Amino acid sequence: MGIAAGAFPAAVHAAPPAAPNGLVIPGLAPGNSSLPWNIVVLLTILTLLPALLLAMTPFVRLLVVFHFLRQALGTQNTPTNQTLIGLALFLTYFIMQPVGADVYQAAIVPLQNNQITAMEALDRGAAPVRRFMLKYTRQKDLALFVELTKEPRPRRPEDLSMRVVIPAYILSELKAGFQIGTILFFPFLVIDLVVASITTSVGMMQLPPVVISTPLKILLFVMVDGWNLVVGSLMKSFY
């Protein structure tokens, strides 16, 4: 009995800590703070996910182009905002999937294997995203934010900090989205002008030109398979 009583405290100390419901948590030992830090990093990423989606992916360009297209067609709320956002979201996933795979291999796998810390994982994971953004960022926008931050001029673009690359990338994406949207506007604008001039010349003042031009624009867009052309052109601009 004495031997069993003496061995019992050692067995208690040797066992790993258990969760409140009695489940044993593997890998969580006293003094091991990796799991709490991983949870903090994960919750932070989830909180910033909407901002990261807008700031570091092609989501902004795609959504701007789709809204320009809807305004050019004159269909008001068709397609709905939810439809356009969903389409832009899945196209963004399609474009960013290779970048996400690089981030997973460079940062997530070593972090799960306890080979690096959470901060090192953030640094490693930022490298593939930075390379992607720099590919579509104008030098003029990068130079603007380098000047505003008063940082020394880097030897290569990869040495730029994220506080310079992210806002420069957003400006470049907005410019690209507005350029594409303006080009999409031109054919539909011509239809509006032609219909307006015809209705005015024949004296149809009671009938607004938009009532006639909108079906014509939709018919033209459907005949040329417009969604396929627009989405295909947008996807090819990233490859």
For residue 5, name the pLDDT band (cuts at 50, 70, 90): very low
- Residue 32: what pLDDT? 47
| Residue 88 one-letter amino acid | A
Q: What is the pLDDT of residues 20-76, one digit of tens each?
A: 444 343 444 444 455 676 677 677 767 777 777 777 889 999 999 999 999 888 887
Backbone angles phi, psi at 53, to 5 degrees: -65, -40
**In Å, how far from its chain's centre is CA 186?**
28
- Residue 63: what pLDDT? 92
- Residue 38: what pLDDT? 65
Block residue for tokens 């992607």: 132
pTM attached to this predicted model:
0.74
**What is the average pLDDT score of the chain?**
79
Residues 169 and 185: their CA atoms lie apart, in Å, by 24
By the 10 Å C-beta count (0-12 exposed, 13-18 middle, 19+ buried), 152 is classed as exposed
- Residue 88: what pLDDT? 92
Q: What is the pLDDT of residues 193-223, one digit of tens each?
A: 888 888 878 777 677 777 788 888 999 899 9
- Residue 94: what pLDDT? 92
Q: What is the pLDDT of residues 77-127, one digit of tens each?
A: 888 889 999 999 999 999 999 998 998 888 888 878 888 787 788 888 888
Q: Which residues of 2-32 are buried (b: 16+ CB within 10 A; e: fewer)?
A: eeeeeeeeeeeeeeeeeeeeeeeeeeeeeee
Tokens standing for residue 234: 């947008």
Residues 133 and 158: their CA atoms lie apart, in Å, by 10
Residues 196 and 188: their CA atoms lie apart, in Å, by 12
